[in-house]
Structure 1
């Protein structure tokens, strides 16, 4: 529990102190956000706001995680230190952050709202997903548990759905690509993606901590969880939660800096990685419901327009639809945050009810 608190606190402090420094540096370098020409007219005034703030989130995440383990080691804690699961999820977030950074940097240099082309971005996500998929099936512990399972999971592995290795690799790519793009689509209003991500990652702190309390290797019983390193995953999620909250201090409306693809792809990768390593891929759809709705709105808009030449929404992603309907930006943000909170609470409720159902049965 101490490690979780340290990771969250350090992540928060590093993010809230580093972000204003990045604002100054990026402003001096002219690293400003380009705005979509077809976007809401009210967004034109945001052109030139420093972007790539995801650098602060990723830095705070990494420092928060390793500081928690360092302090435990100095204090003589019996903790085993960084684990395979925690390090692999960190790798996923940082690697996708690098892909996003390249995308942001190209946007800035070419003074346009399009960075990496679709093929380059696809290849970048594919390479990262391939490495992740290979790594999470290695490093079995003394119980034979690897960081992720080849079974599809809800709260625990579903024994009836097993992926052979080639299918598992494809599944990893689809999951990582979906979540990273879903958070990326949500990052269109000041603080929207940052606030929602903090809630989702905070939910995973609770889930991973609960799994650690009922680890099958410690408390064998019907209702325990076969997760390789649940407590360390809680530390990762806590550091990320603190990093998001610290960044949100500067990213909330009116934003002084945007996270850019650097942050949104990294945060999406965290959601994907945590869902796989905690064996909750299906439950994550509920917990990250806001991200799912935003992504579905884009897919639906494209599908309907290509088949009927009519728009389903005034503009996609979904949050822009309400802006064009006359809602104030802050109203959209707050109401979408409330939806994100409801999804997280509902997801936690499903997690807990499943636990009670097994324990009671």
Structure 2
């Protein structure tokens, strides 16, 4: 528990103190946000607000993780922890270039679809290959090639090549889902904080019930669960610290730098904790936001009519007359409900397996 608390405390402090420094630097450099044409009337006051604040989240997460290993833990960083951090940072770089192009061209379009696709593909493929190349002494890789809900589904195995493809689909899907959600002050950061807090609980519970330490009914065979909890705690606290400045009215936006990185982080955590399908429940708000975009496009192309006033989904309510803060708070409530439901499913699975042997 101590490493988790230290990682969270350090990341929180770094994020709160480093973010205003970025605000000053980016403001002087003119790194301001461009606004989508569809919402310019309601969001016109946000034009010019510093963006690329995801840099603060990434820095705070890394500092929290490294300081924890330098001062508290007796072992060095794990393969699982470093691989998840690599994936998060790689997608952060893709988002950074996307944000930078938007700023240079003074428009709300950065990297084209092909360039962003290549960036996500490269990060996902490297992550997946490295996951398969780092088995421990028991030949257990940081992630499983089986599809997982709360545990591996033994009947569904991807194999090595299939796992690489699955990893790309999951990483691309989650990074885009968080990116779609990042359209209102604090919406993505607040939701991500809850999802990451949920993964702190899940990975810590897996650590306390690790089959390699105490082989008991209902134990887990995931690798490096304590270190994954440290990563999730550092990221969660980094998001909370950033939210201090990103909450309405936002002083800075995370940009694609933050949203793509956080989406990749959630995907990575789901794979190393073997909860890929459970993540869909935990991050239900992100999933709904992404589905709203897919549905809007599908319906418009087939009927030439719009299913929602605007996609992603949060803009539908904004155009319906809801105040921005009302949309944000109610969406946070929904995110909290999905996270609690996910924790409930996770605990119920453990309880059911434990009761079978009593």
**TM-score in terms of structure 1 length:** 0.98
Partners of 1:40 and 1:160 lie apart in 2 by 50
Using the TM superposition, give the Cα deviation of residue 268 of structure 1 relative to its aligned residue in structure 2, in angstroms.
0.4
CA distance in 2, matches of 1:240, 1:127: 23
- Verify: 1:61 aligned to 2:61, yes or no: yes
Tell me, what secondary structure is at the counterpart of 1:160? Answer: strand
Does 1:190 find its partner at 2:185?
yes
For residues 196-236 of structure 1, give each alpha carbon's deviation from its aligned partner in whole angstroms, at most 9, with x where no partner exists: 00000000000000000000001112310011100000000
Other-structure match for 1:31: 31
Give yes or no for contact 1:138–1:147 (8 Å, CA) kept in 2. Answer: no
| Corresponding position: 1:342 with 2:340 | no
Counterpart pick for 1:173 among 168, 171, 174: 168
1:139-178 deviations in Å (ceiling 9; x for gaps): 2112221100100001111100000212111100000000
Name 1:310's counterpart in structure 2. 305
**Is 1:203 aligned to 2:198, yes or no?**
yes
Question: Where in structure 1 do 4 or more consecutive aligned residues deviate above 2 Å?
Answer: none
The reply on whether 1:89 has 2:92 as its aligned counterpart is no
Query: 1:136 aligns to what SS in structure 2?
Result: helix
Taking the aligned partners of 1:151 and 1:121, their CA distance within structure 2 comes to: 28
Contact kept? 1:288, 1:343, Cα under 8 Å: yes
Q: How much does 1:30 deviate?
A: 0.2
Contact 2:132–2:160 (Cα < 8 Å) also in 1: no
**Structure-2 separation of matches of 1:136 and 1:286:** 24
3-state DSSP of counterpart to 2:37: coil
Matches of 1:287 and 1:138 in 2, distance apart? 29
SS of 1:341's equivalent?
Answer: helix
Give the drift of 1:44. Answer: 1.3
Counterpart Cα distance in 1 of 2:98 and 2:273: 30
Tell me what 1:22 maps to: 22
- Which residue in 2 is equivalent to 1:242? 237
Contact 2:91 2:257 in 1 (8 A): yes
Structure 2: gaps of 5 or more residues: none
Ranges in structure 1 where 5+ consecutive residues have no aligned partner: none
Cα distance in 1 for residues equivalent to 2:216 and 2:7: 30
2:138 maps to which of 134, 140, 143: 143
Instruction: Report the Cα offset of residue 39 of structure 1.
Output: 2.2
Show the 5 A alignment for 1:284-323: 284-323=279-318
Q: Which residue of 1 aligns with 2:41?
A: 41
SS in 2 for 1:216: coil
Quote the offset at 1:40 in angstroms: 5.2
Q: Does 1:252 align with 2:243?
A: no
Secondary structure of 2:305's match?
coil
Name the CA distance, whole Å, in 2 between partners of 1:161 and 1:71.
41
Give yes or no for contact 2:26–2:50 (8 Å, CA) kept in 1: yes
Q: Deviations over 1:266-316 (max 9, x none)?
A: 000110000000000000000000000000000000000000000000000
Contact (CA 8 Å) 1:40, 1:324: kept in 2 or not? no
| SS of residue paired to 2:287 | helix
Q: 1:327 aligns with which of 322, 330, 337?
A: 322
SS at match of 1:39: helix
Q: Which residue of 2 aligns with 1:224?
A: 219
Structure 1: distance between partners of 2:155 and 2:347: 22
User: Cα offset for 1:98?
Assistant: 0.2
Q: Deviations over 1:225-271 (max 9, x none)?
A: 01110000000000000100000000000000000000000000110
The 2-side partners of 1:115 and 1:222 are apart by 51
Contact 1:6 1:68 in 2 (8 A): yes
